[in-house]
Amino acid sequence: MQAPQEKVKAAYVLPETTFLAVLGGLDLLYTIYLLATHTAREANPLFSYILHEYGVIEFITMKAILLAAPLTIAEFARKKHPLFVRKALRLCLALYVSIYVLSFLKYNLFAAPPPPVN
């Protein structure tokens, strides 16, 4: 019989996984807000297609699945390759934040100014 402490130790989720899930969830909420207020458009061509062809519910569902599935796989893989998974998740975090920042800069700071109103 295992001690309760060992069960708790084996059951936790990596902080990197939690942070990626929270970051992805906040990104999804913010995207939905921007789309609903017509202040932005979906920049990802795949998700833009899903949004326009299938609707908001399917868009949200696909975003959630494509966020949750890799994180779930990573958590299962962590049992056999803990160091690799931790490093891979950290790389994913760095890439996610970098892509988000670069997209923000591209569409907000470096975008062409709107045409003058006559």
Round to whole Å and give the CA distance between 93 and 85. 12
Round to whole Å and give the CA distance between 55 and 58. 6
DSSP string, 76-105: HHTTT-HHHHHHHHHHHHHHHHHHHHHHHI
5 within domain boundaries:
no
Mind listing the pLDDT tens digit for each residue in 64-94? 999 999 999 999 999 999 999 999 999 999 9
41 within domain boundaries:
yes
Long-range CB pairs of 35-39 (<8 Å, 24+ gap) are: none
pLDDT the model gives residue 28: 93
Mind listing the pLDDT tens digit for each residue in 40-69? 888 889 999 999 999 999 999 999 999 999
| pLDDT at position 118 over 50 | yes
65 within domain boundaries:
yes
Domain count, the chain: 1
b/e 22-41 (16+ beta carbons within 10 angstroms → b)? ebbeeeeeebeeeeeeeeee
pLDDT the model gives residue 7: 44
Cα–chain center distance at 57: 17
Mind listing the pLDDT tens digit for each residue in 88-115? 999 999 999 999 899 888 877 876 766 7
24 within domain boundaries:
yes
| pLDDT at position 5 over 60 | no
99 within domain boundaries:
yes
60 within domain boundaries:
yes
Q: What secondary structure, in 3-state letters, does 53-76 show? A: HHCHHHHHHHHHHHHHHHHHHHHH
Token pair recorded at residue 41: 């458009």
Range of the structural domain that residue 94 is part of: 15-106
The pTM for the full model equals: 0.78
